[in-house]
Structure formats: C-alpha cells, structure tokens
Structure 1
Amino acid sequence: ASSPLQAAAGNAVLDEIEARGLLANAERVGAFLEAELKARVGRWPGVADARGCGLFLGVEMVGSDGAPDLAGARAVCNGLKDRGFLTSNAGAFNNVVKIRPPLVFSQADAEAFLPAFDATLDALHGAR
C-alpha cells in the first residue's frame, strides 16, 4: 500500500526525469559508451565482449582458455575505483564488469571514463 505522499514523491521524480531529458541522455550517452567499449574488445587479453542498453553496460572478462574470469573482472573494478569510477562485477559467473552510472552521467563523464578504463587495462595487461 502507498500513501498520497509516496505517490507525489514518485510523480515528482518522474517529472524531473522528463524535464531534464534524462531518458534521451541515457540513450545517447549509453550508445556512445557502448560503441567505444565494443571497439576495445580484443585490445587486451580477456576483454571478450561489451554490451548494454542505455547506461546499463557490461564488459565480459574471460581467461586465456575462454573461461569466465572473476578475478579479472574484480581487478578491472578495483582499477576503475582507484581512478574515480565505481563499477561492480555481475553476471552468472561474476565476470562481467557492470557499468551502471546515474541517469545524469553526461557525454563529458563518458569521455572521462574511457581513458580510465584504458589505463586500468593497460596497468593490468600492459600497454596496447
């Protein structure tokens, strides 16, 4: 059960999302980030796939044998954290780096994320 106050709060949130164009932002910035991450697949050992929908993105990490790499995903998450970006690992085998920023994540934020991602992978696997 909900109260009128809860309904009003929910409506205010939806109004703010609409007024700020946050859905269009998520679609636009997410498509850019997904394309950039897909372009990085195979540049480093273990980066097997990148996929997503809007700002909900994932980068799959695998070992040299193609098996899910939980330790690799955790290492990428920790490297990104050290560079100011909070991610986590998820998936059936916990080997997917889950990138799920807030809806206000901008193009500039995405452009700052990519060098941090590259630097993290370079530090883990050596320069490309």
Structure 2
Amino acid sequence: MEQIQDVEITDEQGTRVLRDELIELAETGKQFRRIVFEDVDGEELAYLTTLSSAYAPVEVMSIYTLRTMIEILFRELKQYTNIESFHSQSLNGVLFEIFCTLIGYVLVEWFRQRHPLRGGVPEAIRTIRTRWNTSLRTYG
C-alpha cells in the first residue's frame, strides 16, 4: 500500500478525513486506487477505482456517486415504466416513446416531491391514476 495523500475536510458538519491510497490486490497482482472517506461519525465509505491520480479524490467520489444515481434512474425506469419494449417500429417512434416516458417519470417525481406518500414510485403512480381529477391536500 502506498499513501498518495490524506485530506481533512472541514465544513458545518465537522471535520472528516479522506485517504487516497494505491493498493495491490493479492489475487490479481494489479494496482488500484482506494479512496476512503471517513464521516464525522467514524463510518468509512471506500471507493476502489482504476482512475489515475490526475482526478482529485473528491472528483472520484462525485463521479461514482453520479454513476450510482444514473444506474438507479435506469433501474426505476425499467421497473416502473415498461420501457424495455416499444410499440413503434421506427426510430422516430421509439424516440417519441422514450421522451414521453421520461416526461412522465419527471412528472411522477415532481408529484412525489409535492405530495410525499409512502410506497415510493408505485404508490405515486397508483395515486395519480386513481385520483388524477381530484384535489389532494397540500403538505407544508
């Protein structure tokens, strides 16, 4: 293990430690970069990557966080919108279906932000389908 750098991050939540290391995995013999983020409670979150040290540790954490959010979005789109099969045979028709699905998903997420419900996306879709023409009480 080779230490690249240790960084202390201080903000309104307190001081946290970020370790940037080069490690070698015994099974592969290859070197990887490990970034370990320790929060104010002492819990560690580790990122194992092949990205070079040209990327700052915080950038690596941001890249992987965004990647995870994109994967969650794709999983939810496949799970709740049936976007795996299309009705149209033309490219223009498929693109139209994808854009309509994305617009619908954004509207469902907007609805969930405005009217918090238990049950996540499925419950929001069910509520929209059954009560689309009635008023909902507002949440402050």
Question: If the length of structure 2 is used for normalisation, what is the TM-score?
Answer: 0.29
Query: Which entry has the higher C-alpha Rg, 1 or 2?
Result: 2
Looking at secondary structure, tell me which structure has more strand per residue. Answer: 2
Considering Cα pairs closer than 8 Å and 6+ residues apart, tell me whether 1 or 2 has the greater RCO: 1
Q: Which protein is richer in helix relative to its size? A: 1
